[in-house]
Amino acid sequence: MKPITYTKKHAASEKLAVRIYAMLSATDPKLSEMLKHGYVSDKNDFLSIRSVKIYGDGALGSRGAALLKPYHDDADNVGLLVTSKEKLTPLFDEILNHRFQINIHAIGDRANKIALDEFKRVFKSPESVLYSGKELRHRVEHAQVVQPSDIPRFKQLNILPSMQPTHATSDKDMAPKRIGNERLKGAYAWQQFLKQGSRVIAGSDFPVELANPFLGLHAAVTRQDRKNQPEGGWIPSESMSTAEAFRAFTIDAAFGAHQDKVLGGLQAGKYADFILVDEDIFTINPENLWKVKVLETWVAGKQVYKRL
């Protein structure tokens, strides 16, 4: 509770320099106590705590992502579940009883399927209206390798795929070795989610990847690394347009944090949080998106950074 108390005091005294949408950890021994305190927010929207991060499985590179079938390069390994299915059920129930948003880490197709099955279970309960994805905007963090038949279930259940575009360009050489070409049909599948009407919540996954959002915009649009490889992009059918990527990093990211009424766009009634950049991202060659530089940063109408 100490970090939360410390951050709440800073928010109340208007000392926070950035806006924080924090997630409680499902592994925290004091989770039950924190849930009973309810949502945390301050009057200026610098701090918001209304969600819980659940750890579903491991990572693809380490062969820890939970798969439905063995790894392509390790025939005896299907990855691991960090939180077992037996523990997941009471965890979902407790979190939803306090109406907190669930954000579950799921990288492998087995972890994604288990997460979706668990959401389906709780949405069938008598309290389903209060628990629903539409109401609480539950998210699957990463949704990296998904069985193609499970992709439509995100839309059916109103579950948001929270995805990080630079993962595709970082993993493009590793992923085919781990899962083979057949399972790539549901991997890093941004366009499949967008075409069915899902909101893709884009982010960086810092500190695993660099925080610079222009690296993410570049990866989303080109499906290439910063050396313009591979030529034509990796699985280019899943690339986003610049407008789609920009929306995923702004208004839809705000939606995924229940903040779309006050953040995510330059509109009347929202905070004047914005940046000035040295290039028009909608007109430059997409291969140069990662080179865009921030000239000024403004938060709530106040300039907090100026490039010298």
Alpha-carbon span 85 to 17, nearest angstrom:
39
In this prediction the pTM is: 0.94
How confident is the prediction along the chain (308 residues), in pLDDT tens digits per residue?
555 664 666 666 677 889 999 999 999 999 999 999 999 999 999 999 999 999 999 999 999 999 999 999 999 999 999 999 999 999 999 999 999 999 999 999 999 999 999 999 999 865 566 677 789 999 999 999 999 999 999 999 999 999 999 999 999 999 999 999 999 999 999 999 999 999 999 999 999 999 999 999 999 999 999 999 999 999 999 999 999 999 999 999 999 999 999 999 999 999 999 999 999 999 999 999 999 999 999 999 999 999 99
Say if residues 55 and 62 touch (Cβ distance below 8 Å). no
- In this prediction, residue 5 carries a pLDDT of 61
Per-residue model confidence (pLDDT) at position 134:
84
pLDDT number for residue 15: 76
Per-residue confidence (pLDDT) for residue 138, from 0 to 100? 97
Check residue 132 and give its pLDDT: 74
- What is the residue-wise DSSP string for the chain? -HHHHHHHHHHHTT--SS-EEEEEETT-TTHHHHHHT--EE-TTSSEEEEEEEEE-B--TTTT-S--SS-BTTBTT----BSS-HHHHHHHHHHHHHTTPEEEEEE-SHHHHHHHHHHHHHHHTSTTHHHH-HHHH--EEEE--B--GGGHHHHHHTT-EEEE-HHHHHHHTTTHHHHHHHHHGGGBS-HHHHHHTTPPPEE---TTTS---HHHHHHHHHH---TT--STT-SSGGGPPPHHHHHHHHTHHHHHTTT-TTTSSS--TTS---EEEESS-TTTS-GGGGGG--EEEEEETTEEEEE--
> Encoding tokens for residue 104?
């579950």
Instruction: Establish whether the linkage from the previous residue to 230 is cis, with ω within 30° of 0.
Output: yes
Give burial (CB, 10 Å; 0-12/13-18/19+) of 252.
buried
pLDDT for 223: 98
CATH of domain 2-269: 3.20.20.140
pLDDT number for residue 29 = 97
Q: Give just the sign of the alpha carbon dihedral 185, 188, 189, 193.
A: positive
Boundaries of every domain in the chain: 2-269
In the Cβ-directed half-sphere of 146, how many Cα atoms lie within 13 Å? 26
